A and B are shown apart, each in its own frame.
Chain A
Amino acid sequence: MKRLLASRWLGVAFIVALLILWELSSAFGWVSSLSWPRISAVFRALWEISVSGELFGELWPSLWRMFAGYFIGVAFGVLIGLLMGSFRTIYSLLEPVTEVLRPIPSPAYVPIAILFLGIDDEMKIFMIAFASFFPVLLNSYSGVRSVDPVLLQTAATFGVRGTRLLWQIVLPSASPYIFTGMRISLAVALIVMVISEMVAASNGIGYFILAAQRGFKIREMFAGVVTLAIVGYALNRIFLAIENFVLAWYQGYTQQQRN
């Protein structure tokens, strides 16, 4: 019993309990059932739009935009973060402008992006990339600053410098920080993807949720939200699996340092 209470099944059981509460609250009319369908009905709707292919027809364009934007943002974030961390001049040049741009909430510049890029994929990918960029940038920069100088001097004794030093020593040294930034950005990318699709789109999961709400297809609306929960959870698990694989050395290393 004690083992059960400490395990992750406790959390899973709590989720099941909440779903049962949802079901009962709707069945007994504790909440206005017009906008609060039973969770069983939501899952049935989710099943229906899945088998009809409607859900995936909306999900693929969303995921494509999200990943396109995410990887562009990550690539620029790592590149510029490494440069800012390595060269004082580039840091002095770019640090103030990042500090000015970074606090602006991403949705605030959707209208501007629409003016310049229209309402198609370009705008959404740009938005996602722009928002994904900053967490990776800041963490890459911190990662470079935290590289042990002894590692750099060791490389110097072997005649390694310049881009080779950046690629062989600085990048792997900073990779735990870069991964932290990438994990934050992944969540940000999902958020901005949904927002950009709700503002202007003719497909995508964000569009689907909003359209369902406007068409009083409440069960489908909830089904869309549940889909996002599943997608977000899955993305995070996949990311952690990749991180555990790539940074296996880091976990062993930090564990050793603590002992």
Chain B
Amino acid sequence: MSATPYLSIRSVRKAYSSHGRTTVALGGVDLDVERGSFVSIVGPSGCGKSTLLQIVAGLMPATGGEVRIEDRVVREPPPAAIYVFQQYTRSLYPWKTVERNVAYGLENREALTREGVRARTHEYIGLVKLDGFERHYPWQLSGGMQQRVAIARALACRPDVLLMDEPFSSVDALTRVGLQELVLRLWRELGLTVILVTHDTEEAIYLSTRVVVLSASPAVVSIDLPIDLPHPRDQITTREQPRYLEYRHRVLGKLFTAEGLATGDAAASAPAAQGAA
């Protein structure tokens, strides 16, 4: 065991105040992420999981606590990590072609020659299988293709960490499966560390090496569950394994209780939880 984890989130708190009222979104989140792991964060809606990811990405300051990547405190977008936005249609530059969009991060983060940029851009466009669409504009592409452009743009900077905020939430089911497979493949091939925020429990278990469940706000880590399912994973058989279903049972049970939903064996504990609250 190494003494310092690759990425550490230490007692991160976030409070918003508006109109003289203070709302605590994150009530002290602790999390260590090992290099090369795939960590998904799930939690009841409005628990602040996106906020947590934005703090890790250096896009938003924490009210308390700190985030470190390789022992360096995150205060601004760190060079090691790239954040992929949920609203990919709004995150791609509509006046730039696919090629220029993918090159954009690269041009601003690295001192490459024009040829270097071109080569890297094509490499990553190929990696997300968008060859032939270089000259298209993002708005000429389908939702799934647009999200692939956003992923290629992020990966072209060769980050160690990919931070993804509900990246598959606004595409249809089949496109979603395709994107999940793409991200899994890229994670394995490129040796990335991925932190994914999602509201989809099954997606989280299927993709991850670890699933973290946050409680309702003020959010803290309520379950930290290592996912011991073999790789490579398969959309059909992996989801049929008893262990997969066991994970699903535990995570959903926790979430439903937190949301105050009564289902199955969680029903018995739900009124008690409400009484306590």
Chain A bound to chain B:
yes
A residues with CB within 8 A of B = 148, 150-151, 153-160, 164, 168-169, 172-173, 175, 249-250, 252-253, 256-257
Q: Does B6 sit at the interface, judged by CB under 8 A?
A: no
- Indicate if the CB atoms of A150 and B140 lie closer than 8 Å: no
- Indicate if the CB atoms of A157 and B95 lie closer than 8 Å: no
Decide yes or no: A154 and B85 within 8 Å by CB, A148-B90, A253-B94 being known contacts: yes
How many chain B residues have a CB neighbour from A under 8 Å?
22
- Indicate if the CB atoms of B104 and A158 lie closer than 8 Å: yes
Q: Does B152 sit at the interface, judged by CB under 8 A?
A: no
User: How far, in whole Å, are A151 and B94 apart by their CA atoms in the complex?
Assistant: 10
B residues with CB within 8 A of A = 57, 59, 76-77, 79, 82-83, 85, 87, 90-91, 93-95, 104-105, 108-109, 137, 139-140, 157
- Indicate if the CB atoms of A256 and B87 lie closer than 8 Å: no
Residues of B within 8 A of A153 (CB): 59, 85
Selected contact of B157 from candidates A158, A164, A172, A253, CB within 8 Å: A158
Report B75 CB to chain A, min CB distance, Å.
13
User: How far, in whole Å, are A158 and B59 apart by their CA atoms in the complex?
Assistant: 11
Residues of B within 8 A of A151 (CB): 90-91, 93
Selected contact of A172 from candidates B95, B109, B139, CB within 8 Å: B95
Residues of A within 8 A of B83 (CB): 157
- Indicate if the CB atoms of B91 and A252 lie closer than 8 Å: no
Report A175 CB to chain B, min CB distance, Å.
8
Provide 24 A-B residue pairs closer than 8 Å at the C-beta atoms, listed in order of the A residue.
A148-B90, A150-B87, A150-B90, A151-B90, A151-B91, A154-B85, A155-B108, A156-B77, A158-B104, A158-B105, A159-B76, A159-B77, A159-B79, A159-B108, A159-B109, A160-B108, A168-B108, A249-B94, A249-B95, A250-B95, A252-B140, A253-B94, A256-B139, A256-B140
Selected contact of A154 from candidates B79, B91, B94, B140, CB within 8 Å: B91
Residues of A within 8 A of B108 (CB): 155, 158-160, 164, 168
> Nearest 6 CB-CB pairs, A to B?
A150-B90, A158-B105, A256-B139, A253-B94, A249-B95, A157-B83
- Indicate if the CB atoms of A157 and B139 lie closer than 8 Å: no
Residues of B within 8 A of A164 (CB): 108
The DSSP consensus for interface residues of chain A is helix
Report B46 CB to chain A, min CB distance, Å.
20
A-B contact count (CB 8 A): 55
- Indicate if the CB atoms of A150 and B85 lie closer than 8 Å: yes
Residues of B within 8 A of A253 (CB): 94, 137, 139
User: How far, in whole Å, are A148 and B85 apart by their CA atoms in the complex?
Assistant: 13
Decide yes or no: A157 and B57 within 8 Å by CB, A151-B90, A253-B94 being known contacts: yes
Decide yes or no: A169 and B93 within 8 Å by CB, A157-B57, A157-B59, A157-B82 being known contacts: yes
Report B121 CB to chain A, min CB distance, Å.
14
User: How far, in whole Å, are A249 and B95 apart by their CA atoms in the complex?
Assistant: 5
Decide yes or no: A156 and B59 within 8 Å by CB, A164-B108, A253-B137, A253-B139 being known contacts: yes
Residues of A within 8 A of B85 (CB): 150, 153-154
User: How far, in whole Å, are A194 and B93 apart by their CA atoms in the complex?
Assistant: 41
CB closest chain-A residue, reference B81:
A157
Residues of B within 8 A of A156 (CB): 59, 77
User: How far, in whole Å, are A169 and B94 apart by their CA atoms in the complex?
Assistant: 11
* 18 more A-B residue pairs beyond the given contacts A150-B91, A158-B77, A252-B139, with a C-beta to C-beta distance below 8 A: A150-B87, A150-B90, A151-B90, A151-B91, A154-B85, A155-B108, A156-B59, A157-B57, A159-B79, A159-B108, A164-B108, A168-B108, A169-B93, A172-B93, A249-B137, A252-B137, A252-B140, A253-B139
CB closest chain-A residue, reference B93:
A151
Selected contact of A250 from candidates B82, B87, B91, B94, CB within 8 Å: B94
User: How far, in whole Å, are A148 and B137 apart by their CA atoms in the complex?
Assistant: 18
Residues of B within 8 A of A154 (CB): 85, 91
Residues of A within 8 A of B59 (CB): 153, 156-157
